[in-house]
Structure 1
């Protein structure tokens, strides 16, 4: 059984009240760069960035309006890192024409030397769809076709071709091509439709923070769907962990946080591997950038070897 890979959703770039630490509200680009470099040095598999075009007033108090653009952010961080992969978690690709999405992400993959993982999801903010002229009620079907179109547009052909119900294109060349011969496409979401989409169309699954006790049944369902459909390619199964703190915290990190010596964290996280999870997205409680990067370094050096 191979070791668990581990990645991180970047701080600062999205500031929902569900997970943002107080210090992030005053943070900026230099903090993002420091965290990305810390991830690169500590063996993290990826750094991830979210996607929202605009947040309506009715949701702004909870979600905030701070959502960095994933392509711009990941491209900026590609230039200051060397090996860590760059994940959109998730890009709401139905908001944009697939050729536009392909142009942006193919360029990102080219510039980064082939480090892109394209994570996609259906989205949930109705107003974003309405203002961009996309049917919110049919966003699942739009995403399904967008994935098919992106497979073509991010493939090896300079002149990609796709003929579908919503998108139809051929004869339009796009270079540079991605550096990777095949861009991994991970599907996000935990609804039955999202799990089915991940099973049938994805190279990986990004759950929406499912609790541990729910994951085994969902993973079994995803695998059964792939088997029924005859999909033989491997699928990278993900999980989002509880908040973590390496060592004994000297402050209140919350009752859900898993803390303690590295061996305690490693033992707790190995349970994900036993469920069939391939990569975990970890998060750390912190009171500032330095505490966060110290936590990341400690995790990479003292916890990860036992995963």
Structure 2
């Protein structure tokens, strides 16, 4: 990073730190020194009534997240309507991150997760390279295989190919972003003599999804991690567990992943484990009242095809104290990155995440 960029990075870090943890002594601000990093989901919902003013909230949300000192902005991907949370399409993840890059200077910008099989590796490599440079190296590549059969059929692919396609794309990207005159001969993707310039100084930090899921008729995922997914995770920099299973499933998955890393000769501590979850903080210490207030918010986003009891298993519902305890429980199980998701473009919730949750995980 050039010296000017480094100075901007340092000033922004210090400013964000002062806003989130103001000094009471007039001295240096208190920094986030917990092992846990906190990011937020950029709510790029493309509601049917999407207007220009709603789309502009992406910019406001990104700026606010950086000002509050969060580590990263994560974005989702789905381009057709699907059940529950995906009952609305989402705006383009890479375009939204490029927009966020133009209005921020420090916060990392992550896809969480880009559905790899929906892309050809060559144009995707160009998009990644462009976003890397536009963000001055802040881009984090998170990929997953996808799960919605209708989306795969729309693109002329079989859902059963999703894992193998994802692995091929990762392999191709690693070469395209590091080498010149790349030729690749895979089962699904083939190309000859491709050079993408300027090459990146390093491959982006790579996160992959996958993990146990509470079984429903709407998803092909299983209540355990299949071997191919374990191998993919072990080859990445980080693993992002989505809120598709219970709290215990996430902890069990983290243990299984650590054991697999040991088995294949990788230091488990070199792999960061992350978890993404939705929450809506409310002003009550009574659990039943908290659930009453949260229920309509969650049902608007998640739909009603799952029972509210099922939603309580997967998502962070309940009092703020209970949510803090769930995060601490995951931290004890090895989760080091927490991605907090609002249920809408709610800047008030974002502020509460910073003060009521993140502040409890910083060292005194």
The one of 29, 33, 46 equivalent to 2:72 is 46
Within a 5 Å distance, the mapping from 1:70-81 to structure 2 comes to: 70-81=93-104
Are positions 1:36 and 2:57 aligned together?
A: no
The one of 180, 186, 189 equivalent to 1:167 is 189
C-alpha displacement of 1:276: 0.6
The aligned length equals: 293
C-alpha displacement of 1:300: 7.2
Question: Runs of 5+ in structure 1 lacking a partner?
Answer: 17-22
The one of 270, 275, 295 equivalent to 2:333 is 275
C-alpha spacing 1:284/1:224, structure 2 compared with 1 (3 Å): same
The one of 218, 223, 227 equivalent to 2:253 is 218
C-alpha displacement of 1:139: 1.4
Give deviations 1:92-122, integer Å, cap 9, x for gaps: 1112211111111111111101111111111
C-alpha spacing 1:216/1:296, structure 2 compared with 1 (3 Å): closer
Larger Rg: 2
C-alpha spacing 1:299/1:94, structure 2 compared with 1 (3 Å): same
Contact 2:144 2:210 in 1 (8 A): yes
TM-score (ref. length: structure 2): 0.70
1: distance between equivalents of 2:248 and 2:99?
Answer: 37
SS of aligned partner of 1:181: coil
Contact 1:147 1:201 in 2 (8 A): no
2: distance between equivalents of 1:110 and 1:77?
Answer: 13
Are positions 1:190 and 2:211 aligned together?
A: yes
TM-score (ref. length: structure 1): 0.82
Give deviations 1:114-145, integer Å, cap 9, x for gaps: 11111111112223223323232221111121
What is residue 40 of structure 2 aligned with on the other side? 8
The CA RMSD measured in Å over matched residues stands at 3.2
2: distance between equivalents of 1:99 and 1:213?
Answer: 39
C-alpha spacing 1:300/1:230, structure 2 compared with 1 (3 Å): same
What is residue 273 of structure 2 aligned with on the other side? 237
Contact 2:72 2:110 in 1 (8 A): yes
C-alpha spacing 1:89/1:290, structure 2 compared with 1 (3 Å): closer
What is residue 20 of structure 1 aligned with on the other side? none
Give deviations 1:156-206, integer Å, cap 9, x for gaps: 32434433232233421112433x512111111214236414433321111
C-alpha displacement of 1:6: 0.9
1: distance between equivalents of 2:238 and 2:134?
Answer: 23
